[in-house]
Amino acid sequence: MPTYRVAEAATLLGVSDDTLRRWIDAGRVRATEHAGRVAVEGADLARLAESLADHPDRAERRASSVSARNRLTGIVTKVTRDTVMAQVEMICGPYRLVSLMSSEAAADLGLEPGVTAIASVKSTNVVVERP
């Protein structure tokens, strides 16, 4: 499972490093120390991202209009697979995105809660790729 330094995790959540540190201190998200640096496990970060997705404060920070072409880096929060298709849910800053793709593509990308991915958005299609 991936781990994220505080700065990386804060960027994925669309908050400041200080905000994430306060949440760690308050016990809102668990952090560990890796090689002398504070880090957050990917699965813990995904759970926090999900809890923030529908928070009213986040909606106010969303852009009023967004270009038709965007590449949004975020964290995978949920992957639901059947034999043919996979539904991948991500939090990219203040945005919650859902993409449908083949189960094979999701497996090839190694998509699971807690991993970083990039959502490429064009019109109604969302393409997810790993950085």
d(CA 18, CA 9): 11
Domain boundaries 3-54, corresponding CATH code:
1.10.1660.10
Burial class of residue 117 in the structure, from the number of CB atoms within 10 Å of its CB (0-12 exposed, 13-18 middle, 19+ buried): buried
Segment 108-123 mean pLDDT: 90
Question: What are the start-end ranges of the H helices in 54-128?
Answer: 56-61, 103-109
19-67 tens-digit pLDDT: 999 999 999 999 998 788 899 999 999 999 888 876 655 544 444 444 4
Is the domain 69-129 a CATH 2.40.50.100 member?
yes
pLDDT confidence bin for 127, thresholds 50/70/90: confident
Domain with CATH 1.10.1660.10 in the chain: 3-54
Q: Return phi, psi of residue 59, to 5°.
A: -60, -35
What is the value of pTM for the model shown?
A: 0.61
d(CA 131, CA 8): 13
Q: Which of 12-16, 64-68, 126-130 has the highest mean pLDDT?
A: 12-16
105: left (phi over 0), alpha (psi -120 to 50) or beta: alpha
Least confident of 20-24, 31-35, 109-113, 123-127: 123-127
CB atoms near residue 104 (< 10 Å): 12
82-99 tens-digit pLDDT: 999 999 999 998 889 999
